[in-house]
Structure 1
């Protein structure tokens, strides 16, 4: 566990997870934090630990000479009509490149997710991170408003927007046609969904603490999957045994890694849920998995 987390009670992280995923409203969340203030914790320390500080999340600058970042639009006739995302390409690579769709959490395309796309491009992949909030004006600059915006949208249309984004990226002229996807929280669910909704869409998927697609779709999964879970994430982890049973039943090539003492969101380096050791290891595993499954030109 990140050393900075030691003075924050675990229940504060659990309450934040409930709040962030709609199981608790803000008033109740703040009231519960107030019970910790009553026994000596600082509200400033608690909220600064739980709320993101995106200045901490930039590992790769958008000015890095090894990458080029642009915004690109795509058609989404079964979704919201049009979508837009953050496309990052390596500048010095030669030949056709592997492709990775990056799927954000339940709050839109925030700076952390954009940085993940830059990290992938720096590692030699063409990365594309769509913003589900595009039709509402895009990520609003803060996560609370972003969550409310995404919650107000039609979930089926959002899912279709990500299918359209995957098809758009897969046909990129500099790509080798091998498409991977990585997602976090809601994005982890979308990775599982993309693998299940169309067996020909993905060549590999990495799901960070995401719930599975509905059971009736799972028989379609053909892509290898890497599942990254946090030991303290009870909400997501309770969905894993049934999902694993189906992955085994349908002969899916999968890996599951459970990160000890890690919270939901441990890869996100903008909050104190970040667990550096687990995040670094999980990212190394993700890159190796993509290199294994996306490097060759499809026949």
Structure 2
């Protein structure tokens, strides 16, 4: 489908205006999150040279989600990767992940999935974010928003709907398992840590481990051996359930490695596991036809 070029150079389909009912965030934050300790010296910055990258608006059922998208500056359609944020929002680290994927030949899109619930650009307490935002986010809405983001990517001519993957970090790692069990069009999924267990609720009725036997695509899990959010037993159980159900799952556990080891802006960053995990992720995408 032919589209028009937006201010950032990315094409957006010519859809009619949609009201933003109940959206707290109508644009993305700038810089890094205020809600996590920073290790600025380690922060990686990927140049946008050779890319079309910037903020876009994704039409969803009740308005438009702000999102960040990046792709090579050339003719598409490109294989598409949906990038699911940490609890901290689509800040500079997540934007840079999108640019890194674009440098590897992908259209990468990170929607601000919590835009209805709180202004993550102003929140400084991660416990408040979990209590007031994350725990109030219905999984059904999250999955529908990711579907809408995939439709936006393919509908504007930049993304290839036949080569679709999902990648998530922290809470987004948990959501990666859920989305891989939800969308039958996915070719591959990569979960960077995040909780496999945890309490459920009426609006979040399943945890990630419960999805292991229901996955629609091969899933690569990258976990830290010193990360308390997913215990060795939970990791083992999820892998075993997936294999018992005939699903393709590969789990890599990096010994003595904390949660958030890919987040280069945080003290938890570990260069060796982060770089090894990135190589494994790109190989996984290629192996299963997203590349």
The answer, yes or no, to whether TM exceeds 0.5 is yes
**Cα RMSD between the aligned structures?**
2.5
Maintained 8 Å contact 1:67/1:91: yes
Maintained 8 Å contact 2:223/2:252: yes
CA apart distance, 1:172? 4.4
Secondary structure of 1:135 counterpart: coil
Aligned equivalent of 1:35 = none
Aligned equivalent of 1:51 = 37
- Can you give the 5+ residue segments of structure 1 that lack an aligned partner in the other structure? 1-49
Aligned equivalent of 1:201 = 185
CA apart distance, 1:56? 4.2
Pick the structure with more helix per residue.
Answer: 1
Secondary structure of 2:116 counterpart: helix
Report 1:211-230 matches (<5 A). 211-212=195-196, 213=207, 217-230=211-224
Maintained 8 Å contact 1:110/1:139: no
CA apart distance, 1:143? 5.0
CA apart distance, 1:226? 0.5
Maintained 8 Å contact 1:99/1:176: yes
The one of 94, 97, 100 equivalent to 1:119 is 100
Aligned equivalent of 1:106 = 87
Maintained 8 Å contact 1:205/1:223: yes
Describe the shift of the 1:240–1:172 C-alpha distance in structure 2 as closer, same or farther (beyond 3 A).
farther
TM-score after normalising by structure 2? 0.74
Q: Which runs of 4+ in 1 moved over 6 A?
A: none
Is the counterpart of residue 290 in structure 1 residue 285 in structure 2? Answer: yes
Taking the aligned partners of 2:129 and 2:210, their CA distance within structure 1 comes to 28
Taking the aligned partners of 1:132 and 1:171, their CA distance within structure 2 comes to 20
Report 1:1-299 matches (<5 A). 51-53=37-39, 56-61=42-47, 64-77=48-61, 81-92=63-74, 94-135=75-116, 139-140=120-121, 143-144=124-125, 147=129, 150-151=133-134, 153-156=136-139, 157-177=141-161, 178-198=163-183, 200-212=184-196, 213=207, 217-237=211-231, 238-295=233-290
Of residues 95-104 and 155-164 in structure 1, the stretch that sits farther from structure 2 once superposed is: 155-164
Maintained 8 Å contact 2:84/2:172: yes
TM-score after normalising by structure 1? 0.72
